[in-house]
Amino acid sequence: MQEPIIRITERPKPPQPEELNLRFSERAVLELEALLTHYPDKKSAMLPALWIAQREYGGHLTSDAIAEVAYRLGRSYAEVEGVATFYTMYNKTPVGKYMLEVCTNLSCMLCGGYRILEYLQEKLGIRLGETTPDGLFTLTEVECLNNCGDAPVMQVGDIYCRRLTPEKIDALLEELRQSEAHTVVALADAEVQLHLSAQEREQIERALTQS
């Protein structure tokens, strides 16, 4: 029996609607439609589309989230997955409500970045890459956060925590436990809003109130 010919120029097709469990909200669809006008083709909007998906799917990109982006942009699952897995800013596995991203590059290392990391591990009872049992905090080590003058530095959602000490960390963790700000989902939303103009955000709000 003759083997079928596989052409390397043929790309996998986008998933079909009947194969998907679509979860983008009405707001998300309107945001994506606005973002598509910024680019020459749908493929070019993949990074902000992945930020929308990370927000809509609760903080990380499930296989359904990647499939939905592929469907809405008319790309294959493999192509979107390749982009999502290339960038560390997209979470491919479940994470805590807050991501504690400690910089340990040169300046932060010299100013105690690893001591801060060790303190957090002891304080939270977890190791790098793990999440606390209550689902609040995931601890990670990151490359330079470009704030060397305030080392050691840690990113938490959309903020930088500078010149860290154990006392500052204790206060920060207590504040986060009482807050809904600076979450993984809030960061994804902030990234989406940065890609939209003020006029586009206003138009989306009007459309939502009229629907």
* E strand map for the chain: 98-103, 137-142, 154-156, 159-161
pLDDT at residue number 22: 93
pLDDT in tens, 118-158: 999 999 999 999 999 999 999 999 999 999 999 999 999 99
The answer to whether residue 1 sits within a structural domain is: no
DSSP 1: -
Rounded-to-integer distance, Cα 131 and Cα 116, Å: 17
The answer to whether residue 54 sits within a structural domain is: yes
Same domain, 50 and 153: no
Domain that holds residue 78: 17-92+186-210
The answer to whether residue 4 sits within a structural domain is: no
Same domain, 75 and 141: no
Work out the mean pLDDT of the chain and round it to a whole number.
Answer: 93
The answer to whether residue 7 sits within a structural domain is: no
State the total domains in the chain: 2
As a whole number, mean pLDDT of residues 96-109 equals 97
Contact 128, 102 (CB under 8 A): no
As a whole number, mean pLDDT of residues 100-121 equals 97
Among residues 118, 116, 124, which one has the least CA distance to residue 145? Answer: 116
pLDDT in tens, 2-39: 665 555 555 667 777 777 889 999 999 999 999 999 99
